Amino acid sequence: MKYVLMYTSRPDLAANTDSEAAQAIYKRVYEWFGENAGVMADSGAELLGVETATTVKHDPAGAVVVDGPFNEAKEVIGGFSVIDVADMDAAIAIVKTWPMLDLPGVAVEIRPMVEDYSQFE
Amino acid sequence: MTTTDGLLARTLRQEAGPLVARLSRRFGDFDLAEEAVQGAVVEALTRWRRDGPPDNPGAWLQVAATRNAMDGMRHRDRQRALAGRADPPSSEPADGTDERLALLFACCHPALAPEARLALTLRAVVGLTTPQIARAFLAHESTLAQRIVRAKRKIVSSGISLTVPAESELAERLGDVLAVVYVMFNEGFVSSTGPTQDRDLSADAVWLAGVVATSLPTEAEAWGLAALLTIQHARGRARFVAGDLVLLRDQDRRLWDHAAIAGGERMIERAASLGKPGPYQLQAAIAAVHAIGASWEETDWLQISLLYDELARWDPSPVVRLNQVVARSQVLGPLEALAGLEQLSGPLADYHLFHATRAELLTAVGRAAEAEAANRRALELTTNDAERRLLTTRLHRRPLDDGS
């Protein structure tokens, strides 16, 4: 299944991260894209409704998974990827390793992509 | 509950979950499978009650559900697409345990809204109908049906698979599953007086906790929960007299199911042997100490107090600390306990058992006027009819640590 990952962050909180820590995380981000190159697909993305959203959020005790697209107005989407994996659990497992989740205010929204257009016929 | 209803409940417990899992694998569609089994459950409810149960209830249900699934497929526009996705039935595992567990993990997936997890579990895994669930939770049937439909669609459309999570994820995901079973038990435990109750939710939860523990035999907390629910449920017959809730201290202990309690104790030992302590095991140990006491007075309060101290380290929630205070009052006396209780007056300002406990301790130290005010406050805050009657008729008695 294909999923679109939307990377969001809070600019007000991100501004508090010192530049050395930010550099270290960017380095890990590049590595992360390298490690996951095998499941990255690039294509036009059409998303299912917002009620299908699942969010993995920053938490001091480790990333947590919740229902819904709880993006607040303060959050911005910084970029997106399309991945092709077996199921939702596989998508969540990859997203949980997203290095930016170490930063407060960071969240990644996972949305399944429409692939079977026969349901709209 | 009539014999037919009892048999029906047992059959659905055993068969509904595996049937949903098998049909969804066969037809590649969870939604279709779940609807097909629900249809069969509703048919069974009406036909078995009217004509008596069939010779082989499990097979009857399987035939009805499979027929519904085939009908459902024929009525769908994507008939051909679905048929193409259908796996040969030979891929089905013979043993139903794992598929039931996989279904349970899917229904309790963290990507689903927390309030939908329990409802979906009750329908898909345990085999309750939507009206039964609505009655148990005093919820509107349409609201509940909506919630279930939304959760099922999310499982299908976002690719939540019906599998037991991998080792690395298991511990975390198991916590969600155990929480749902725990809530399920408590819903039944608190509201089990209602005449509309046509399924014993608590008995269903005890059974489901047993399924999880035996399927994951090295998970200590799964055994802990199974032990806790088994022991609590064993007190069932003594908890209500003529519809009125009876406090633990006043219960006729001869009515308890002592064989079940002994079974619960064995589960605690099994959990303890795994060397991974946790809050469900501690709660089970507390319940066990209560259960083996010959009377309220002869209960090993020091042991219970120490167990609550340990539990509060895992779960420092105000309600656990309230129970810790109650246990300590038995060891150290009401004056000491009262001081500990006042620290909880903020977070528990709207919790009726806080005020009921406070009233009891104030009475014990001779502050009658304050005790009466606390009792009135407890009464105002009680929402459960049975609990309200209890507080009304025994204004100076105390609802106990574990609720009753």
Q: Which residue of A has its CA nearest to B106?
A: A89
Rounded to the nearest angstrom, the minimum Cα separation between B169 and chain A is: 9
pLDDT attached to residue A48: 66
Predicted confidence band of residue B214 (pLDDT cuts 50, 70, 90)? very high
Tokens 């390793």 belong to residue: A97
pLDDT attached to residue B96: 56
Residue B205 vs residues B38, B155, B181, B226, B389: alpha-carbon distances, Å: 19, 23, 6, 9, 26
Interface predicted TM-score (ipTM) of this complex, two decimals: 0.73
Residues of chain A positioned with their CB less than 8 A from the CB of B154: 51-52
Under a CB-based contact definition with an 8 Å cutoff, are residues B336 and B329 in contact? yes
Distance from C-alpha of B160 to C-alpha of B157, rounded to nearest angstrom: 8
pLDDT attached to residue B197: 55
- Bigger pLDDT: A21 vs B267: B267
pLDDT attached to residue B193: 46
Residue A68 Ramachandran class (φ > 0 left, ψ -120 to 50 alpha, else beta):
left
Distance from C-alpha of B265 to C-alpha of B287, rounded to nearest angstrom: 10
Q: What is the mean pLDDT of chain B?
A: 86
Contacts for B261 with CB less than 8 Å, ≥ 6 apart: B230, B231, B234, B288, B291, B292
Q: Would you call A112 helix, strand, or coil by DSSP?
A: strand
pLDDT attached to residue B99: 84
Quote the distance between the C-alpha of residue B220 and its chain's center. 18
Tokens 């669930």 belong to residue: B133
CB-closest option in A48, A64, A89 to B161: A89
pLDDT attached to residue B394: 43
pLDDT attached to residue B195: 39
B51-104 pLDDT, tens per residue?
988 999 999 999 999 999 999 888 875 555 555 555 444 444 545 567 889 999
Predicted confidence band of residue A117 (pLDDT cuts 50, 70, 90)? low
The proportion of chain B whose per-residue pLDDT surpasses 90, expressed as a percent, equals 58
Tokens 């998970």 belong to residue: B219
Predicted confidence band of residue B325 (pLDDT cuts 50, 70, 90)? very high
Question: Read out DSSP for B253-265?
Answer: GGGS-HHHHHHHH
B224-279 pLDDT, tens per residue?
999 999 999 999 889 888 877 788 888 999 999 999 999 999 999 999 999 999 99
Under a CB-based contact definition with an 8 Å cutoff, are residues B391 and B382 in contact? yes
Question: Residue B112: is its pLDDT beyond 50?
Answer: yes
CB-closest option in B77, B113, B159 to A112: B159
Mean pLDDT computed over A21-47: 81
Question: Read out DSSP for B14-79?
Answer: HHHHHHHHHHHHHHT-HHHHHHHHHHHHHHHHHHHHHH---SSHHHHHHHHHHHHHHHHHHTSTTH
CA dihedral B156, B126, B73, A54 (to 10 degrees): -10
pLDDT attached to residue B84: 55
Q: Which residue of B has its CA nearest to A117?
A: B78
- Which of B284, B299, B302, B243 has the alpha carbon at shortest distance from B402? B284
Q: Which long-range contacts (CB under 8 A, 24 or more apart) does B342-351 make?
A: B344/B318, B347/B318, B348/B318, B348/B319, B348/B322, B350/B381, B351/B318, B351/B319, B351/B322, B351/B381
Mean pLDDT computed over B386-398: 51
Mean pLDDT computed over B1-18: 84
Which residue numbers of A have CB closer than 8 Å to B's CBs?
1, 3, 48, 51-52, 54, 64-68, 86-89, 91-93, 110-112, 116, 118-119, 121
The proportion of chain A whose per-residue pLDDT surpasses 90, expressed as a percent, equals 29
User: What is the residue type of B379?
Assistant: L
Tokens of B42: 């509703």
CB-closest option in A51, A66, A88 to B159: A88
Residues of chain B positioned with their CB less than 8 A from the CB of A67: 110-114, 116
Note whether B160 contacts A88, CB cutoff 8 Å: yes
Contacts for B275 with CB less than 8 Å, ≥ 6 apart: B220
pLDDT attached to residue A78: 72
Distance from C-alpha of B39 to C-alpha of B45, rounded to nearest angstrom: 10
Spell out where A1-121 has E strands: 2-9, 40-41, 54-57, 64-67, 76-84, 107-112
Mean pLDDT computed over A69-87: 77
Rounded to the nearest angstrom, the minimum Cα separation between A72 and chain B is: 18
Does pTM surpass 0.80? yes
Mean pLDDT computed over B118-133: 92
B172-187 pLDDT, tens per residue?
899 999 999 998 898 7
Lowest mean pLDDT among A65-79, B230-244, B265-279, B365-379: A65-79
Q: What is the mean pLDDT of chain A?
A: 82
Lowest mean pLDDT among A1-15, A47-61, B223-237: A47-61
Mean pLDDT computed over A10-25: 81
Question: Residue B403: is its pLDDT beyond 50?
Answer: no
Distance from C-alpha of B269 to C-alpha of B267, rounded to nearest angstrom: 5
Q: Which residue of B has its CA nearest to A116?
A: B81
Residues of chain B positioned with their CB less than 8 A from the CB of A54: 110-111, 158
Question: Residue B192: is its pLDDT beyond 90?
Answer: no
